[in-house]
């Protein structure tokens, strides 16, 4: 292959280079560009998925081209629905950044930190747009990687007075609370965590509902991040039908979200539509943001990492 060898930028380096304050505005811009459906801005097909049946998982391929920005990338992500309490990873990812003119690989970047941070940052954007003003109580269902990245960004940018965490085992919820220096409460049940909460984040590997509409306070905002297969659920039909549903990608939600497909709920708008001002943010209603994850989010995150990496003198 012609051209210089690709940069290899791994986990600790990505952690050092990626900051929410720089990432969030770029993601907001990217979501808006995606929803314009202008092929010079963003070409991003719905994720192709290859089942890894033997290992209860999937390989997702997420190519994206942003012509006006000169960004070409693809993420390779494996995600699993393994036996409960398996110590094997739930999500593993790599982002490959290419030169769109020459076609050579410019960088191979660890995708786990990018996936954790860009997903949480997009949920935070959904909350910024859709939660009611004065939201005080945040509930997080799940205690894994996404739970931590969501805790980090939500507490960094919003002044929540209380953060509640639920996991399938109380022990894991308590461990999570210790890991964040005690800045949250471990709850004994999902119901206890979400009753009265203003914002609820679901970040589990569950394939059946863990959040039920009858527990959810009217006007609450839900960022639903797990359940990214057409037959997986995190939210029940009552909630899906009562809420105004937003998504990152309408096509993605119609193809991949069990919560949308199986409940028959309508996707009211994409987050990008709200950012572009073409659809309203119905903050006074109960809202669900159904996140599936998009290649364009990985593309702008990888570009940010690569640009910062190049700017670090010792690598040049």
Ligand X SMILES: NC(=O)C1=CN([C@@H]2O[C@H](COP(=O)(O)OP(=O)(O)OC[C@H]3O[C@@H](n4cnc5c(N)ncnc54)[C@H](O)[C@@H]3O)[C@@H](O)[C@H]2O)C=CC1
Cβ distance to ligand LZCNNONV smaller for residue 77 or 224: 77
Cβ distance to ligand LZCNNONV smaller for residue 224 or 228: 228
Rounded-to-integer distance, Cα 202 and Cα 200, Å: 7
DSSP state, residue 67: T
* Member of 115, 204, 263, 287 binding ligand LZCNNONV (CB under 6 A): 115
- Please give the full DSSP string across 224-238, using - where no structure is assigned: E-S--STT--SB-HH
91 touches ligand X (CB under 6 A): yes
295 touches ligand X (CB under 6 A): no
- Closest by CA position to 247, among listed 214, 215, 225: 225
Cβ within 8 Å of residue 308, ≥6 positions away: 17, 18
Q: CB 195 → ligand LZCNNONV: shortest distance, Å?
A: 28
Site for ligand LZCNNONV in 199-238 (CB under 6 A): 228
Rounded-to-integer distance, Cα 55 and Cα 157, Å: 38
* Member of 18, 71, 91, 120 binding ligand LZCNNONV (CB under 6 A): 91
- Candidates 27-35, 52-60, 222-230, 261-269; binding stretch for ligand X (CB under 6 A): 222-230
DSSP state, residue 55: G
> What's the residue count for the chain?
316
* Member of 33, 47, 106, 205 binding ligand X (CB under 6 A): 205
Report the SS3 class of residue 276.
helix
Size of the site for ligand X (CB under 6 A): 25
291 touches ligand X (CB under 6 A): yes
Q: Which secondary-structure segment (H or E) carries 71?
A: strand 71-80
* Member of 128, 168, 279, 285 binding ligand X (CB under 6 A): 168
Alpha-carbon torsion angle 38, 36, 66, 91, nearest 10: -130
Q: CB 294 → ligand LZCNNONV: shortest distance, Å?
A: 7
Residues near ligand X, by CB under 6 A: 79, 84, 90-91, 115, 119, 142-147, 167-168, 203-206, 210, 225-226, 228, 291-293
């Amino acid at each position: 292959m012609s051209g210089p060898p690709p940069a290899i930028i791994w986990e600790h380096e990505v952690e050092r280079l990626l900051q929410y304050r720089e990432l969030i505005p770029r993601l907001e811009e990217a979501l808006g560009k995606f929803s314009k459906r202008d092929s010079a801005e963003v070409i991003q097909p719905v994720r192709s998925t290859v089942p890894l049946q033997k290992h209860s998982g999937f390989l997702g391929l997420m190519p994206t081209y942003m012509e006006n920005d000169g960004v070409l990338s693809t993420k390779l992500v494996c995600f699993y629905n393994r036996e409960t309490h398996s110590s094997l990873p739930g999500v593993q990812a790599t982002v490959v950044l290419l030169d769109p003119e020459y076609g050579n690989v410019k960088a191979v970047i660890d995708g786990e930190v990018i996936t954790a941070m860009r997903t949480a940052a997009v949920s935070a954007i959904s909350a910024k747009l859709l939660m009611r003003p004065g939201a005080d109580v945040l509930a997080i269902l799940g205690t894994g990687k996404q739970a931590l990245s969501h805790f980090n960004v939500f507490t960094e940018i919003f002044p929540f007075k209380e953060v509640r965490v639920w996991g399938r085992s109380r022990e894991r919820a308590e461990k999570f609370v210790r890991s964040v220096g005690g800045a949250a409460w471990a709850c004994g049940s999902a119901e206890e965590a979400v009753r009265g909460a203003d914002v609820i984040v679901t970040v589990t590997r569950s394939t059946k509902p863990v959040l039920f509409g009858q527990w959810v306070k009217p006007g609450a905002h839900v960022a639903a991040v797990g359940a990214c297969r057409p037959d997986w659920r995190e939210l029940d039909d009552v909630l899906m039908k009562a809420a105004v549903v937003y998504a990152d990608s309408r096509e993605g939600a119609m193809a991949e979200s069990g919560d949308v497909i199986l409940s028959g709920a309508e996707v009211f708008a994409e987050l990008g539509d709200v950012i572009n001002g073409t659809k309203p943010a119905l903050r006074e209603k109960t809202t669900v943001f159904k996140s599936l994850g998009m290649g364009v989010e990985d593309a702008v995150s990888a570009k940010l990492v690569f640009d910062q990496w190049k700017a670090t003198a010792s690598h040049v």
